[in-house]
Structure 1
Amino acid sequence: MSEDRRRVVRRVGAVVLGVNLALALAKGGVWWTTGSLAVGSEAVNSLADSIYSLVVLAGLYLTTQPPDFEHPHGHERIEPFVSLFVAVGVFVVGGAVLWNATTSILVGSYGVNGGTAAVAVLVVTAGAKYGLYRYCLRIGEERHSPAIVAAALDNRNDILTAGAALVGVLGASAGVPVLDPIAGAVVSLGIFYTGYEIVRNNVNYLVGAAPPEELRREILARALEHPQVRGAHDVVAHYVGPEIDVSLHIEVEGRMTLFEAHDIESEVVESVGAMPEVDDVFVHVDPKELGEWKPNDEADRLVESESADRDRGGGEFDPASDVEADRDGESRPEDDAAPDHSA
């Protein structure tokens, strides 16, 4: 992990914690002076957010530690577990909102009118949470941080809960306080769905799933774009935590020297490793004369799709024709066989 990513991720965690603490204090003050049940629930929600934000900040500190003897690849693999902790917090908040809403309707206790102060603090909360949502989402996607993305989704939840509380406050002002628990019950469903989103997104990181097709296609294209690579096979890309490990075999001319083959391998590793999502790249060099390529429809489809995209964009590089070309101008028995793009 780069020092820049480490610094940015930690800064986001600190900002989220600071904003949640400020909102908890502001809502607590309005609750104390007005007695509004809606604002009181939001104050408890912000206090809970502050507590889990502290845990998330500690988790992000651990995930951004540099590699050591026991963790030679770094600590990023902890990050999906931090995200799942956020998901648990989201489910707890959703359950609490639904419980309070149901209890309020059954008992007929809807709180009191919070007045202008309650409306103001809830509007400020919604605005602050929207700003945090956009900020965390942008940084999380740029830095490939599932924990920061999960925090963004949680802040999106808080916009909904603040909106529900605002409906309750306005409903009490209009003489229809039952709107508060009804809005809360509806919002709880959205909160539960957000928890599901976080779990779904992070399970792939934990089970070593393959990355999205566009990333697999780019990995294969970067390997094949080297002018001396004749084919690629046994290409495997999978998540290790939030990052991707790649292994592949490339086909080169068998008569080249070991130094030349090593240089090609290093250049392919550097090209694929330059992708921000990729952590480690392992390349095995095979003489093309061994004929180890294995036909693979999925890999051929990725290459053809990449070629079509480049043609539409006006690019000059065609992976398929590049692999098939005989750059030495000599006749080879292997030329009659289809080039290999196997994944």
Structure 2
Amino acid sequence: MNDVKDERYQQVQFAAWVGIIGNIILALIKGVIGWLAGSRALVADAVHSASDVVGSVAVLIGVRAAKLPPDEDHPYGHGKAESIAAIIVAVLLFIVGFEIALSAIKSLNEPIEVPGIIAIYAVIFSIVVKELMFRYKYRLGKKYRSEALITDAWHHRSDVFSSIAALIGIGASILGGYIGVPWLVYADPLAGIFVAGLILKMAWGLGKQSIHNALDHVLHDEDTVEMRETALNVDGVLKIDEFLAREHGHYVIIDIKISVDPHITVEEGHAIGKKVKAELVKIEHVQDVRIHINPFSE
């Protein structure tokens, strides 16, 4: 079990570092090329990538905190640290979307220069890299039930949308300058406003889900069939009186009340409870089980 947890921690932590280093490199490339090419859209996209560094750092901190063992103040562990990190990333994503929209609206009333064609290549490179980062982190986040990593993955996907908007805007500006249609340069801010709306919608959905999971969300009955059947199949368990499986970040903690023969000894009832716990923690993602023993009654 510890080997699985260590593997999860190492993989998720590595993915967070990939995000941090990748975003720093992309921000530098897009920032420098955007400045040299005179592309305001590319410079704004570089700022977006730089803001993602903060999100990836939040994920890294959340993953490290979630790995800490239970203590006196946190008897259920620190799994919700990832949910908190996911909320932070969602808030950052919302702020970035708002800033992109605001910048795009302001630029509609300002003169815009035609950028150099090198900006096109920088944006295409960014789109490819960010899409690969999204797919990598999303797949890993689903595999290891890392809410923070999944949210950060969608942060990368928002960068893809942002870069596509920049690509359209830069392309339209270059085309407008080439064929002599000045108003085409304003395709950049218009595309930015549209993408900002998509980013805001994504941030709202991710933040809402993260907050929901952070508030002691209990799994629905259809999601706990295997767990309840496992408990009922233990010799000596006559009935399940209550079963609550609470999501605590990437793992689950079960509170269960079982009925046993009222005529057996306390020691025998305790042994049945230990067996139930031993079987339940074998299930993937179940980290701890709290059991209460009741005397069976019709």
Separation of aligned partners in 1, 2:14 and 2:158: 21
Q: Identify which of 177, 192, 198 aligns with 1:184.
A: 192
Q: State the shift of 1:86 in Å.
A: 0.5
Query: What is residue 313 of structure 1 aligned with on the other side?
Result: none
Q: Does 1:114 align with 2:116?
A: yes
Q: TM-score, normalised by structure 2?
A: 0.88
Q: Tell me if structure 2 keeps the 8 A contact 1:205–1:241.
A: yes
Q: State the shift of 1:172 in Å.
A: 0.9
Q: State the shift of 1:191 in Å.
A: 0.5
1:89-104 equivalences in 2 (<5 Å)? 89-104=92-107
Q: Tell me if structure 2 keeps the 8 A contact 1:243–1:279.
A: yes
Query: What is residue 163 of structure 1 aligned with on the other side?
Result: 164
Q: Tell me if structure 2 keeps the 8 A contact 1:38–1:111.
A: no
Give the counterpart letter for 1:135 in structure 2: Y
Separation of aligned partners in 1, 2:220 and 2:185: 47
Deviation track 1:35-64 (CA, whole Å, cap 9, x = no partner) reads 111111111111222233234323332332
Query: What is residue 275 of structure 2 aligned with on the other side?
Result: 267
Q: Identify which of 11, 16, 35 aligns with 1:13.
A: 16
Query: What is residue 87 of structure 1 aligned with on the other side?
Result: 90
Give the counterpart letter for 1:86 in structure 2: V
SS of the aligned residue for 2:12 comes to helix
Query: What is residue 152 of structure 1 aligned with on the other side?
Result: 153
Q: State the shift of 1:247 in Å.
A: 1.2
Q: State the shift of 1:252 in Å.
A: 3.0
Deviation track 1:139-178 (CA, whole Å, cap 9, x = no partner) reads 2122121111110111111110011000011111210222
- Mark the CA change 1:95 to 1:211 in structure 2 (over 3 Å): closer, same or farther: same
C-alpha root-mean-square deviation of aligned residues, in Å?
Answer: 2.1
Separation of aligned partners in 2, 1:280 and 1:149: 24
SS of the aligned residue for 2:62 comes to helix
Q: Does 1:281 align with 2:294?
A: no
Query: What is residue 205 of structure 1 aligned with on the other side?
Result: 213
Query: What is residue 63 of structure 2 aligned with on the other side?
Result: 60
SS of the aligned residue for 2:185 comes to coil
Q: Tell me if structure 2 keeps the 8 A contact 1:136–1:152.
A: yes
Give the counterpart letter for 2:7 in structure 1: D
Q: Does 1:233 align with 2:236?
A: no
Query: What is residue 246 of structure 1 aligned with on the other side?
Result: 254
Q: Tell me if structure 2 keeps the 8 A contact 1:244–1:279.
A: yes
Query: What is residue 49 of structure 2 aligned with on the other side?
Result: 46
Question: Quick check: 221-230 or 96-105, which moved more?
Answer: 221-230
Separation of aligned partners in 1, 2:188 and 2:221: 45
- Mark the CA change 1:238 to 1:73 in structure 2 (over 3 Å): closer, same or farther: closer
Question: Quick check: 16-25 or 194-203, which moved more?
Answer: 194-203
Q: State the shift of 1:8 in Å.
A: 1.7
- Mark the CA change 1:112 to 1:94 in structure 2 (over 3 Å): closer, same or farther: same
Query: What is residue 3 of structure 1 aligned with on the other side?
Result: 6
Deviation track 1:41-94 (CA, whole Å, cap 9, x = no partner) reads 111111222233234323332332344454444322222211111011101110
Separation of aligned partners in 2, 1:130 and 1:214: 34
- Mark the CA change 1:96 to 1:49 in structure 2 (over 3 Å): closer, same or farther: same
Aligned residues: 288
- Mark the CA change 1:262 to 1:80 in structure 2 (over 3 Å): closer, same or farther: same
Deviation track 1:187-230 (CA, whole Å, cap 9, x = no partner) reads 11110111112211111222212124432333222222335432
Q: Does 1:32 align with 2:39?
A: no
Q: Which has the higher contact order (CA 8 A, sep 6+)?
A: 2
Query: What is residue 308 of structure 1 aligned with on the other side?
Result: none
Give the counterpart letter for 2:254 in structure 1: V
- Mark the CA change 1:63 to 1:247 in structure 2 (over 3 Å): closer, same or farther: closer
SS of the aligned residue for 2:259 comes to strand
Query: What is residue 300 of structure 1 aligned with on the other side?
Result: none
Q: Tell me if structure 1 keeps the 8 A contact 2:137–2:150.
A: yes
Q: Tell me if structure 2 keeps the 8 A contact 1:249–1:286.
A: yes
Q: State the shift of 1:242 in Å.
A: 4.3
Greater CA radius of gyration, 1 or 2?
A: 1
Question: Quick check: 68-77 or 152-161, which moved more?
Answer: 68-77
Q: TM-score, normalised by structure 1?
A: 0.77
